[in-house]
A and B are shown apart, each in its own frame.
Chain A
Amino acid sequence: MVIRRLMSDECILEARGLFKKYGDLVAVNGINFCVKRGEIFGFLGPNGAGKTTTVRMFCGLTRITAGEAYIDGYSVKKDGKKIKRIIGVVPDISNLYSELTCLENLLFSGEMYGVPKRKRLEKAEELLRFFGLWNRRNTKFKNLSKGLKRRLTLAVALIHDPKILFLDEPTLGLDVLSKRAIWDRILKLNEMGTTIFLTTHNIYEAFEICERIAIINHGEIVAIERPESLKKMFSAREVLEVSFTPDNPPIEELRSLHGVVDVEKEKSIFKLVIEKPIDILEDLAKYARDKGLNIATLRLREADAEEVFLNIIGEMRDD
């Protein structure tokens, strides 16, 4: 007998002390979080942080070592089949069946989910039209462009009307137009009520689209906030972009200046993450004079999404 766990009405997905170990390696270290019904939830982290392992545990593709995972009240450990009927998964690679046409790929997926014949034909047509693939319905998957393959992979994940859609790098490797086309459709799906769980490396996209973002590093959740709140956490920090003539100073010396949190070098420009701009400007001018350097360019701006992300990850590393 399937027993659905009572979850908060708001929560469609919940991790409670979710833990995964591969041999001696702890991939996910007892994480807790909840994804609200109808939201676009971003799951960010560097490579090897535990993102994919977490998603795979929710989808039943990786065993859970300890802890609990629930989707729509069903336990991932106990009610695997029920869960599979209510989730849609778009992996980071478009791995549909190459010899099958767009329509055949959709219909096969519909058959496997037990969608009745008439409904799966209607739904397949609706999805092909929604994703702009109707004219390509009889084209084999292998003959589609990369962008169209991605669209079809997304369409196939929706044939059974899932309550929650897991998206892993949905726009990876696509051109700007294809990216926009995919995002437009994902946003429309969300407007129609589908919860989106997005795993991505594209921090800018995540900050722009997601309602809440969880950042995971070394298997632990470092932060879960709305994008604007995450930015606010670091609003005290700004970025000073500076270049010098005639030579570049050693990066370590800039890092040792008082009030500098971090320094990155991009070509000849140093990006100093700082806390008190006025103080650092005085110190920087003095440092340049002492070293016989001229400040060629100087620009002060707010930290962007990527810098916020790197700061959060960096702080975790420092701890």
Chain B
Amino acid sequence: MINELLGSYYIAKKDLKEYYFKPGTISWGLVFPIAFTLAFFIRHGGSSTWLAPGMISLAIFFGATSMSGMSLVFERRIGSFERLLLFPISYTGIALGKTLSSFLYGVISAVPVIILAFILVPIPPSNPLLLIMSIAVATFLSSTFGVLLSFSVNDPSQIMIVFNLVRFPMMFLSDTIIPVASLPELFRVIALAMPLTYMTESIRYSYTTAYDLVPPLPSIALQILLSIIFLFVTSRLIKSKIP
């Protein structure tokens, strides 16, 4: 068990060194969330209180998924992913390693947006502990989601296209930039099927002590459950890809 965790940690450490400065990771994981946040805050000014938590969850989501997407595009395309399969580590250990590097990158992506939110919308979080916990859980869920999505695509060169096909609709349907409560019933049901909704809800609650669809504790519990499920499904997917 300790060896497995150590193996996952080494994979994560290697990924950060290898992919931190890749153009795709920087553009989608750092530049895009900052530019997006600036654009929205400048447009909405002081009325961005509701928007700020959505921006933070988007930064986390894009940061974490970009890292997993980029690392697996490269490794599956040039065949270096097979190197990981040659090491004495389980498929779950590999999936966890990939998740950890995405997690760390997701946290890094969130920092500039949190600082921007604090400067441009000077509202302190009403529950800092819940905010930290929500960010950690949301980043972990985004990471497992990104890793799972990367392995679900058979052609590695299509991974980033599929990522954006999934991520952009989620942006609009997960209560991040459009209040889902104001949308027709059907959209609220769709929002409940999006992992990003639960990330946004718990982060938003830690700022405003209000939620639109799901209270924070069930939201966090569901995110943990989804992360475990995604991790398990990823390890099965890695195994199933062995011819």
Contact = CB atoms under 8 A, between A and B. Distances in A.
- Interface hub of B3, B78, B80, B87 (most chain A Cβ within 10 A): B87
Nearest to B7: A112
A81 B88 contact: yes
A98 B18 contact: yes
Contact of A61 (B10, B80, B82): B82
Interface string B69-90: 0000000001110111111110
A114 interface: yes
A17 interface: no
Contacts of A287: none
B168 interface: no
B10 A112 contact: yes
B86 A59 contact: yes
Interface residues of B, number: 23
Contacts, number: 63
B18 A97 contact: yes
B10 A108 contact: yes
A99 interface: yes
Given A63-B243, A100-B14, A112-B10, A95 B88 contact: no
B43 interface: no
Contacts of A89: 86
Interface in A94-126: 95-100, 104, 108-109, 111-114
Interface string B1-42: 001001100110010011101000000000000000000000
> B-side binding surface: helix, strand, loop or mixed?
helix
Interface string A55-80: 00001111100000000000000000
A91 interface: yes
A93 interface: yes
Contacts of B3: 114
Looking at chain A, what size class is its interface with the partner chain? 20 to 34
Nearest to B82: A61
A84 B88 contact: yes
Contacts of B7: 111-112
Nearest to B83: A95
A112 B80 contact: no
Nearest to B22: A99
Contact of B79 (A22, A84, A91, A111): A91
A95 B78 contact: yes
A100 B80 contact: no
B242 interface: yes
A60 B85 contact: yes
Interface in B94-141: none
A152 B146 CA distance: 32
Contact of A63 (B21, B86, B242): B242
Nearest to A20: B243
Contact of A95 (B10, B11, B80, B242): B80
Contact of A113 (B84, B88, B242, B243): B88
Contacts of B79: 91, 93, 95
A108 B11 CA distance: 8
A114 B88 CA distance: 9
A62 B243 contact: yes
B82 A91 contact: yes
A112 B6 CA distance: 8
B16 to A, nearest CB: 10
B87 A84 contact: yes
A59 B87 CA distance: 10
A129 interface: no
Contacts of B21: 99
Interface in B150-192: none
B18 A22 contact: no
A61 B243 CA distance: 8
A99 B74 CA distance: 12
Contacts of A59: 86
B234 to A, nearest CB: 18
Given A62-B242, A114-B3, A100 B87 contact: no
Most B CB within 10 A of own CB, among A60, A97, A100: A97
Contacts of B11: 112
Contacts of A113: 87-88
Contacts of A98: 18
22 contacts: A22-B243, A62-B243, A63-B243, A82-B88, A84-B86, A84-B88, A89-B86, A91-B82, A95-B82, A96-B83, A97-B14, A97-B17, A97-B80, A99-B18, A99-B21, A100-B18, A111-B6, A111-B7, A112-B7, A112-B89, A114-B3, A114-B6
Interface of A: 22, 59-63, 81-82, 84-85, 87, 89, 91, 93, 95-100, 104, 108-109, 111-114
Q: Which 9 A-B pairs have the closest CB atoms?
A: A112-B87, A111-B10, A84-B88, A95-B80, A81-B88, A99-B18, A95-B79, A97-B18, A108-B14
Given A100-B14, A112-B88, 18 more contacts: A61-B242, A63-B242, A81-B88, A82-B88, A84-B86, A93-B79, A96-B80, A97-B80, A98-B18, A99-B18, A99-B19, A99-B21, A111-B6, A111-B7, A111-B10, A112-B7, A112-B84, A113-B87
